[in-house]
Amino acid sequence: MAKKSYEKEAKDRFLRHIERERSEKWEVSAEDVVTDLETRRDFDYQLSCGSKRMALA
């Protein structure tokens, strides 16, 4: 599903915040990640930094 501009802007602000505060470079590794096939529940972005992963809803 196409993201709205405010969703992309919020994600970008969050990534800049993490880089500034933690000195870690996180990147989007997936979008619209389904966590439950039956209900189609998902989260907007999967972020990655090396082997670490984070969900951003």
Q: What are phi and psi of 20, to 5 degrees?
A: -70, -45
> Which residue carries 């802007």 as its tokens?
9
> Structural domain boundaries of the chain?
5-56
Alpha-carbon gap, residue 20 to 6, rounded angstroms: 21
Cα–chain-centroid distance for residue 25? Answer: 13
pLDDT number for residue 40: 86
- What pLDDT is stored for residue 2 in this prediction? 84
pLDDT at 55: 96
Query: Tell me: the pLDDT tens digits for 3-54?
Result: 899 999 999 999 999 999 999 999 999 999 999 999 989 999 999 999 999 9
39 C-beta neighbours (distance < 10 Å), count: 8
